[in-house]
A and B are shown apart, each in its own frame.
Chain A
Amino acid sequence: MIIDLTDTNASKIDSALTRARHSGGGPGLGMVLTLVAVTAERSHYDAIKAANDAAREHPSRILAVINRGGRGMGRLDAEVRVGGESGPGETILMRLYGELGHHADSVVLPLLLPDAPVVVWWPAHAPGVPRDHPLGALAQRRVTDAAPEAKPLAALRQRADGYRPGDTDLAWTRLTPWRTVLAAALDQPFDPILSAEVAAQRSNPSAELLACWLGLRLNVPVDRKTSRGPGITSVRLQTESGEIALTRPDGRLAHLTRPGEPDRTVALSRRTTPELLAEELRRLDPDEVYEDCVRAVPVEEKATAS
């Protein structure tokens, strides 16, 4: 069910929601969080689609906020979607005009689910200090993404400067499968590690975070190499007895090699945005390991990137 509201306000949106819920026999009562997606007009379709897919795992109220800018008196147009395509939760698409664009929090605050956690997601360009953004201040969890930024590595450095507990970046989330396989590889006995190397496409923020993670955890020098991609293509750990390597040339199937052991294959495909978002929504406490890694991103990267 879709209800269009023009020149409206939060309380009218709320009563439209209640109306839609009653006519649908009361869905949406098991919603676990409010997800606020701050997006632009041209990318809102993909953002809402990804949020809806992620909501299959975490039934959510999704508030998509589009700031249309412009001058003059503020105006709010909204579209309320319940049931059907929008998945198990509720979706409210809001377009903010004029000076209302600076007061998005006043629209979002009355529409948050009672008591449930709030997650704000910037699918493309994120503010410098997400916690200080009026919408970011409402949330326990602030999700950014360095990859689509114009200068991804500079953006990553900016994330470190603007980090507050509860921040996280999808460039970090993309690494989980890599980190899982690498950590599992070192569950088996291994010889002391002397150095490490990460190869990836140019300006890949995930590769930089992976290199920082390896450097911090293994306490060895980590080389960054540029490859033709897609994404990260290999991680090599030099040990005293040879190389432990995880290589993924095609973005799908990886090979794990260890000294004196047969090659092993493991599926390591690049994940879609809904999968990444679903992982982010699984844990809502501050990610301290991400904090350590993003703070370890070397400052000179900023220079090379800009």
Chain B
Amino acid sequence: MSRPIRAVGLAADKPADHNPLRDPRDRRLPRVAGPCGLVIFGVTGDLSRKKLMPAIYDLANRGLLPPGFALVGFARRDWANEDFANVVHEAIKQHARTPYREEVWSQLRDGCRFVPGELTDAAAFDQLAKVIADLDRVRGTGGNHAFYLSIPPKYFPIAVRQLRRSGLSASEGSAWRRIVIEKPFGHDLKSARELNRMLDEVFPPHAVFRIDHYLGKETVQNILALRFANTLFEPIWNANYVDHIQITMAEDVGVGGRAGYYDGIGAARDVIQNHLLQLLALTAMEEPVSFNASDVRTEKEKVLSAVLLPNDLSVTTARGQYTAGWQGGVKVPGYLEEEGIPPDSRTETFAAIKLEIDTRRWAGVPVYLRTGKRLGRRVTEVAILFKRPPHLPFEETATEELGQNALVIRVQPDEGVTMRFGSKVPGTAMEVRDVNMDFAYGESFTESSPEAYERLILDVLLGDPPLFPRHEEVELSWMILDPIEGFWASHGAPEPYPAGTWGPASSHAMLAREGCAWRRP
């Protein structure tokens, strides 16, 4: 039923069907975004300088940005266009992934504009509208503009209201206006719905891009390829063979400059709600009927709606807060001593939860999610741990060191896949021990793993929404997390753990009770 509707919806964004130079057999030609511009709010921020600007340059360098592309900065600075261009230039030289080339920069430089102002300042938005109209005239951006809100979430409503008031959110004819927001998408179900309602009033659903930059499209596609392009894994990808699943996202840094945002939000809302639950959905979902946006989304929504919370949250969740300690050879302060954190803060910097998935495929397989700051090392991975063999035809001493077989999808750093299985130790005695077999994407296909932001920005400009979460997914994940947050709010404080370790004792106890142990990633 939804197919014809979707086809019509996309037709406006897709290249004209009658383009005689396009040939489905001609796979050398990439899709290049049509004439357009990108407006970044909060352009002076770290994210903008370290990620967005370099990503834009790298796209231009790879020939994927349209001729005449325009980049508009909006921030509270007294800058002229040239000052802004200089900032962009510096950011590119420092952080771009691809080599610097003068001609690529000159393509970008002429399209750089800056609008000084506050988000509350109506005149600044009117000025922005003028700048954009002017760009359409001199750069030929054709009325197509994307607005990237690289600002704290509390300013989303005011920015969106200003965009509507100044007429910037409205597009004429076949031109488009799109809006990009970054996680967090609210801080609970209620606020997420509030945010969605507000965006819905101003932008149609297909024009809203929710970016979870931790989860690049490349990673998502790698997981989909691993699961659905092979026959090797699918037969064992179920409760008959899988013992449990562990999904980890560990950071070695502390809260740093994000204190104002982080305190009161905490690890679970910051990471589990979006990143870990997205990884869970991709790992556990059934095979989609196709890889187009809505079919993948349907499967993700199905599996998220089947997630069950355990009854007793006191023994199936754990949370912690890091204290001062030594992290990789550096002495670091505890969370409560970080600048901008109230000394009595009860915000968790570590969260671990157990979930179950109520489907035929996963019945009885626990899924453990954990995330935290100031942990042992920076790593994100999905580990599938398999059941032990029902019978081992060896002497007991031969298999003492044999653990569970594991398949680990490494997301970062060093994206790849690790398989862990038993192998004989060389020598005359029969002894079986665990060994790793590694595959690294970086090794086999380096160039084709572009920075997540490049893919995200390109998808926004092409109007390709496939792997951005839609508001249904966001709301489903809050439904999973809200009861846990509610329970934590009324049950004491997070347990301290020293910086540089793998979290509080309660997290290890939580798995030990069920006869498992966290992998050391």
User: Which residues on A are within 8 Å of B, measured CB to CB?
Assistant: 30-32, 56-59, 88, 173, 176-177, 179-184, 186-189, 217-219, 252-254, 256, 258, 261-262, 264-269, 278-279, 282-283, 287-289
Q: B92 CB to closest chain A CB, in angstroms? A: 13
Range, interface on chain B? 35 or more
Q: In the complex, A219 Cα to B21 Cα: how many Å?
A: 11
| Most chain A beta-carbon neighbours within 10 Å: one of B29, B30, B137 | B29
- CB-contact partner of B29 in A30, A88, A176, A253, under 8 A: A176
Q: B residues near A, CB below 8 A?
A: 15-16, 19-23, 25-30, 32, 34-35, 60-61, 63, 66-68, 101-104, 106-107, 110, 137-140, 142, 439-440, 443-448
Which of B16, B26, B61, B139 gathers the greatest number of chain A CB atoms within 10 Å? B26
Measured between beta carbons, the chain A residues less than 8 angstroms from B21 are 179, 182-183, 186, 217-218
Task: For the complex formed, measure the closest distance between the CB of B63 and the CB atoms of chain A, giving whole angstroms.
Answer: 5
> Given the interface contacts A264-B67, A267-B61, A267-B103, does A179 sit within 8 Å of B29 by beta carbon?
yes
Report how far A219 CA is from B19 CA in the complex, Å. Answer: 13
In the complex, A278 Cα to B448 Cα: how many Å? 11
Q: With contacts A32-B445, A262-B139 known, is A186 near B101, CB below 8 A?
A: no
Q: Which residues of B contact A176 (CB under 8 A)?
A: 28-29
Contact indicator A56/B110 (Cβ below 8 Å): no
Determine how close the nearest CB of chain B comes to the CB of A240; give it in whole angstroms.
15
**Complexed CA–CA distance, A16 and B91 (Å):** 46
Chain B residues, CB < 8 A from A188: 16, 34-35, 142
Expressed in whole angstroms, the minimum distance between the Cβ of B451 and any Cβ of chain A is 15
A32 and B441 alpha carbons, distance in the complex (Å): 11
- How far is it, in angstroms, between the C-alpha of A61 and the C-alpha of B404 when the chains are bound? 35
Those 4 A-B pairs whose CB atoms lie nearest each other, nearest first: A264-B68, A264-B67, A266-B67, A30-B443
Task: Give every chain B residue within 8 A of A261 (Cβ-Cβ).
Answer: 140
CB contacts (< 8 Å) of B106 on chain A: these are 253, 265, 267
Interface of A is mostly: mixed
Pairwise interchain contact A265-B19, C-beta atoms closer than 8 A: no
Q: Which residue from A180, A264, A282 sits with its C-beta under 8 Å from B63?
A: A180
30 contacts between A and B (CB under 8 A): A31-B444, A32-B444, A57-B446, A58-B445, A88-B443, A180-B30, A181-B32, A181-B67, A183-B29, A186-B19, A187-B19, A187-B34, A188-B35, A217-B21, A252-B102, A254-B67, A256-B68, A262-B137, A262-B139, A262-B140, A264-B68, A265-B68, A265-B106, A267-B61, A267-B106, A267-B107, A268-B63, A269-B104, A279-B28, A282-B448
Given A265-B68, A269-B103, A184 and B444 contact (CB-CB distance below 8 Å): no
- Complexed CA–CA distance, A287 and B22 (Å): 14
> Once the chains are docked, how many angstroms separate the CA of A217 from the CA of B21?
6
B19 / chain A contacts, CB cutoff of 8 Å:
183, 186-187
Cα(A246)–Cα(B137), bound, Å: 20
Per the bound structure, the CA–CA distance linking A234 and B138 in Å amounts to 22
Contact B35 A265 (CB under 8 A): no
Contacts of A279 in B (CB 8 A): 28
Closest residue of B by beta carbon distance from A275: B447
Residues of chain B with a CB closer than 8 A to A288's CB: 25
CA of A9 to CA of B220 in the docked complex: distance in angstroms? 46
A174 to chain B, nearest CB (A): 11
A283 and B34 contact, Cβ closer than 8 Å, known pairs A181-B67, A253-B103: no
Q: How far is the CB of A41 from chain B (nearest CB, A)?
A: 31
Determine if A181 and B140 form an interchain contact, defined as CB atoms under 8 angstroms apart.
no
By beta carbon, the residue of chain B nearest A54 is B447
A283 to B28, CA, bound (A): 8
Task: Please name 20 further chain A to chain B contacts, defined as beta carbons within 8 Å, in addition to the given A57-B445, A217-B23, sorted by A numbering.
Answer: A30-B443, A30-B444, A32-B444, A32-B445, A58-B445, A59-B443, A180-B29, A183-B19, A187-B15, A187-B16, A187-B32, A188-B34, A253-B106, A254-B67, A256-B68, A262-B138, A266-B68, A283-B27, A289-B25, A289-B28
What's the minimum C-beta distance from B18 to chain A, rounded to whole angstroms? Answer: 9
Contacts of B102 in A (CB 8 A): 252
